[in-house]
Structure 1
């Protein structure tokens, strides 16, 4: 069930009306939200609803055992290790089993053992990376005494809540569980912000991301050797805009939907392509993941507490694992290695920059950072390592003229980049204006906007890019 569809719209309207009618009973309200979330997830594949339930129950149980062993530090560590292992086992089996077995098979063939291994075809559950990371962060936070134990209902709802279930943001227990414990309130400001984010996300996904995907990006990445240099260059820039508009659209809509239900989610993007360094980029891009990697992986690997060499190794290790989090592919490893290497180089440069050398101007930092990110996106999007190399080689050697780029697609790329240079807090200002308008006019305006978007967008609705992670 995709957000920008009539089916989801009817589903949400039903859930919205039912949950607010149960405002007097917060427990029943949460039960309705939980059942609705399982229905939402089951619309994709009912078999994995049981996995979602089991994951929530197992994480709740591991946290309870850690709390029960409060006076036994060694036992607390054992339960922590078991809780993390459960999450990694679930994630590893569904996401990496096939990749691991293929690498084993290739290794055995290279050693002269030609017998084929039996490799099961494992279906990847949508959103498994997001809900396992949420479960793991809850167990770790309980161990670190950074959050209070949740009830079973609250914990399972945390991991199943449909607005953020399949593509984030990764909302931590310490942020959302306290909200579940209270009867929610829907202020006019929250409603205005929620509606503004939903329609803005719909525009970015249904028009810009979808148009760039179908008209340019998919074709250039499908067979780079058949494309001209101008088309490949446009395809690379187009994908940078597509992935931003697609992913930020999902999280904008998730934040907006949660707001209409009375809950606050953290924002996940802050104009990432205006970053002046790669470190700044990761403070702006997929903020819930980058902060998760920092708090639960980078710091655990030593962070900045054990000298410069250890810091650089921690950066590299964090980004390599962050790349693998996105999928079982060597391309994601290369993407993570590129980001980790540049982050380490930036840190070394700040440490050893010659005295008297001024920092580079912001405009140059933005230009360099964006093109490093752009190079990474080629590996991120390409179907294989060879395809990524062919794409990069074609940019410099293919020649020819642009056959795919149209004025409309070029305008989409320019508009998508312009978003990063709009005044800060633009959506908040829009929401402030919406809240002063009569509700009838707001409804008519939003309805008209949706009709315009529906008329302009390509046929069909492609899944969000991050559904596959």
Structure 2
């Protein structure tokens, strides 16, 4: 069930009406939201609702056992339970996402040393959003172990991991952010309604008009067969993918935050104009903030962070980004993407530490330009199906004899417009939300309805799935 569809619109209207009609019982409200979330997830494949429930029960049970043990008396047992929980979450993620990949690599290795044989590949179907809800489960267990949050009831944990606005593509909302909100009966004010509707409509426009058209009309055909496209097509499609993935993913985050706001809950901000970053460190403070902060707090710091010397800090940065790249999928291209980001982050730290005194600092505009094109290079590996395909694509950008086929004025206009809205100041959206908040309910409803109809008229045939559904 995709957000920018009539089916989801009707589904959300029903959920919104029913949950706000329930008064006086926050528990029943949460139960209704949980059932709605399972319906939302089950619309894709009912079989994996059981996996979602089982994952929540495992994390709830182990967190309860950890919280029930006195820290000073049961250190080893508490740590053992934490490791069991982390392994259980990683086992779910590893089986569905990486089992066939590792078997394929083992088969290739055996073939290389003369023991070629058919491997028992299972052709496993990847559950949508499995990376997101397993990360949520792990972070909850770790937070309970470190006494950052208390153990929560089963209903709250299950709803945390199943809540449909963020279920399949984030933001990764931590227990410390959302469970305290579940404990209180939510209240809806005009400011939340105005900002929620604005984010939903804005996300709908970015996804349905910009990201989907760039995907279908430019990026997908060029990356599918780079040899059939000109140098211009390859270059324009690379820029197009940078805009597509930003508009696609930020649109999902905007809509998720807006939907949660209409249900009375606050989600954390997930994007902050990432292409304004003047360094790769700054980029990761702006791009997919919930993931980058998760990797920092639960992986980079756990590896030692910057506490064990400068060289260890650099190694931890590289390892974190390699794992972060592999988290996106079982392909070598994701590892290359993560390795590229990790290597540049290391080089930035090295330069900051050993830069000769008196050397001028790089102007911000130049830092932004360099950082954007490093990110652009990484996106080519991220999008390409294979490592060889990515290298072929990059070589083609330096020169190709094919005729231009998809570089159209529309494609160029969408790229330029997508970049322009990326740089739209935040205070502009806040000002619009203030004006919407002061409108009467009928006028606001008519305005939002008319805007959605305009967006629907502007969009092209169909809606491509969100990019991050595959993760």
Q: TM-score, normalised by structure 1?
A: 0.99
CA contact (8 A) 2:66 2:144 kept: yes
Shift of 1:399: 4.9
Question: What does residue 361 of structure 2 align with?
Answer: 359
Alpha-carbon distance in 1 for matches of 2:356, 2:247? 39
Question: What does residue 188 of structure 1 align with?
Answer: 190
Which consecutive residues of structure 2, in runs of 5 or more, have no partner in the other structure? none
SS in 2 for 1:425: helix
Alpha-carbon distance in 2 for matches of 1:250, 1:426? 20
Render the CA deviation track for 1:375-394: whole Å, top value 9, x for unaligned: 00000001111111111000
Question: What does residue 6 of structure 2 align with?
Answer: 6
Question: What does residue 96 of structure 2 align with?
Answer: 94
Shift of 1:401: 5.6
Shift of 1:114: 2.2
Alpha-carbon distance in 2 for matches of 1:261, 1:252? 14
Shift of 1:204: 0.1
CA contact (8 A) 2:229 2:403 kept: no
Question: What does residue 19 of structure 1 align with?
Answer: 19
Alpha-carbon distance in 2 for matches of 1:17, 1:148? 32
Q: Structure 1 runs of 4+ off > 4 angstroms?
A: none
Which consecutive residues of structure 1, in runs of 5 or more, have no partner in the other structure? none
Question: What does residue 148 of structure 1 align with?
Answer: 150
Q: 2:322 aligns with which of 313, 320, 323?
A: 320
Alpha-carbon distance in 2 for matches of 1:389, 1:44? 35
Q: What does 1:118-129 align with in structure 2 at a 5 Å threshold?
A: 118-129=120-131
Question: What does residue 381 of structure 2 align with?
Answer: 379
Q: Which moved more, 1:351-360 or 1:50-59?
A: 351-360
Question: What does residue 65 of structure 1 align with?
Answer: 65
Alpha-carbon distance in 2 for matches of 1:158, 1:23? 21
Q: What does 1:103-142 align with in structure 2 at a 5 Å threshold?
A: 103-142=105-144
Alpha-carbon distance in 2 for matches of 1:113, 1:252? 51
Alpha-carbon distance in 1 for matches of 2:464, 2:404? 25
Question: What does residue 256 of structure 1 align with?
Answer: 258
Alpha-carbon distance in 2 for matches of 1:432, 1:378? 40
CA contact (8 A) 1:91 1:129 kept: yes
CA contact (8 A) 1:148 1:174 kept: no
Shift of 1:23: 2.8
Q: Does 1:84 align with 2:81?
A: no
Render the CA deviation track for 1:289-325: whole Å, top value 9, x for unaligned: 0000000000011111111100000000000000000
Q: TM-score, normalised by structure 2?
A: 0.98
Alpha-carbon distance in 2 for matches of 1:405, 1:77? 56
Alpha-carbon distance in 2 for matches of 1:422, 1:250? 18
Render the CA deviation track for 1:391-445: whole Å, top value 9, x for unaligned: 1000002156633111111111011111232223332221111101122121111
Alpha-carbon distance in 1 for matches of 2:119, 2:375? 38
Render the CA deviation track for 1:225-277: whole Å, top value 9, x for unaligned: 11100000000000000000000000100000000000000010000001000
Shift of 1:111: 1.0
Shift of 1:160: 0.2
Shift of 1:115: 2.0
Alpha-carbon distance in 1 for matches of 2:200, 2:428? 14
Question: What does residue 278 of structure 1 align with?
Answer: 280
SS in 2 for 1:124: coil
Alpha-carbon distance in 1 for matches of 2:371, 2:274? 10
Q: Does 1:201 align with 2:203?
A: yes
Question: What does residue 465 of structure 1 align with?
Answer: 467
Alpha-carbon distance in 2 for matches of 1:267, 1:307? 32
Shift of 1:358: 2.1
Alpha-carbon distance in 2 for matches of 1:161, 1:400? 48
Alpha-carbon distance in 1 for matches of 2:386, 2:422? 30
Alpha-carbon distance in 2 for matches of 1:364, 1:402? 30
| CA-based RMSD | 0.9
Question: What does residue 33 of structure 1 align with?
Answer: 33
Q: 1:302 aligns with which of 301, 304, 316?
A: 304
Q: What does 1:41-52 align with in structure 2 at a 5 Å threshold?
A: 41-52=41-52
CA contact (8 A) 1:62 1:139 kept: yes
Alpha-carbon distance in 1 for matches of 2:102, 2:420? 41
Q: Which moved more, 1:69-78 or 1:267-276?
A: 69-78
CA contact (8 A) 1:271 1:419 kept: no
Q: 1:425 aligns with which of 405, 427, 450?
A: 427
CA contact (8 A) 2:228 2:402 kept: no
Alpha-carbon distance in 1 for matches of 2:186, 2:463? 32
Alpha-carbon distance in 1 for matches of 2:423, 2:251? 17
Question: What does residue 340 of structure 1 align with?
Answer: 342
CA contact (8 A) 1:69 1:76 kept: yes
Render the CA deviation track for 1:348-385: whole Å, top value 9, x for unaligned: 10001110112100000000000000000000001111
Question: What does residue 330 of structure 1 align with?
Answer: 332
SS in 1 for 2:203: helix
SS in 1 for 2:426: coil
Alpha-carbon distance in 2 for matches of 1:276, 1:422? 17
Render the CA deviation track for 1:143-175: whole Å, top value 9, x for unaligned: 111112110000000000000000000000000
